Amino acid sequence: MSAAPQICIDDDFCHVRFIHLNRVRAARLAKLSDKETAKMAAIFKVLGDPTRLSIVSALRDGEMCVCDLAAFLKMTESAVSHHLRRLRDLSLVKNRRDGQVLYYSLDDDHVQALVTMALDHVRE
């Protein structure tokens, strides 16, 4: 059952208040769990930092070591390592060791797709 229509005067709201219960029910059925919501919010928060987003973007074309990333970003290796740790904690990047060198890459194709879709959206 729908609520009675009410007239609103604020441009940020509907001019006629009418709740579409079928849409509300569908949204409730598709609602993310609190755990999923928290993890997604953490991912977007981490990617909201321009430095970390630059790291992820640079890794779209292949793996790089901390030295490469530090040179690319014009930052210290220590600062880059701090950012990489945050990205690794959320499974956005992974590393592999080759002797004494750690190479970083995107954790999987989902991270690549996430960044690519955001970039496509920005470029529209």
Residue 1: per-residue pLDDT? 54
Question: How many separate domains does the chain show?
Answer: 1
Residue 10 located in a structural domain: no
Please answer whether residues 16 and 5 qualify as being in contact, where contact means their C-beta atoms are separated by less than 8 angstroms. yes
Residue 6: per-residue pLDDT? 56
Which CATH number fits the domain that encloses residue 110?
1.10.10.10
Model confidence at 16, pLDDT cuts 50, 70, 90, reads: confident
pLDDT over 90 at 75, yes or no = yes
Residue 86 located in a structural domain: yes
Residue 7: per-residue pLDDT? 56
Residue 15 located in a structural domain: no
Q: Would residue 110 be called left, alpha or beta, if left means φ above 0 and alpha means ψ between -120 and 50 degrees?
A: alpha
Across the range 116-123, mean pLDDT stands at 95
Distant-in-sequence, close-in-space partners of 17: CB < 8 Å, separation ≥ 6:
3, 5, 6, 8
The residue that leads in pLDDT, 33 or 8, is: 33
Residue 47 located in a structural domain: yes
pLDDT in tens, 89-115: 999 999 999 999 999 999 999 999 999
Which residue range is the domain that position 60 belongs to? Answer: 32-123
pLDDT in tens, 17-71: 788 999 999 999 999 999 999 999 999 999 999 999 999 999 999 999 999 999 9
DSSP H or E run through 103: strand 101-106
Residue 97 located in a structural domain: yes
Residue 2 located in a structural domain: no
Residue 74 located in a structural domain: yes
> Which string of DSSP letters, residue by residue, matches 65-98?
EHHHHHHHHT--HHHHHHHHHHHHHTTSEEEEEE
Lookup: tokens for 13? 């709201």
Residue 18 located in a structural domain: no
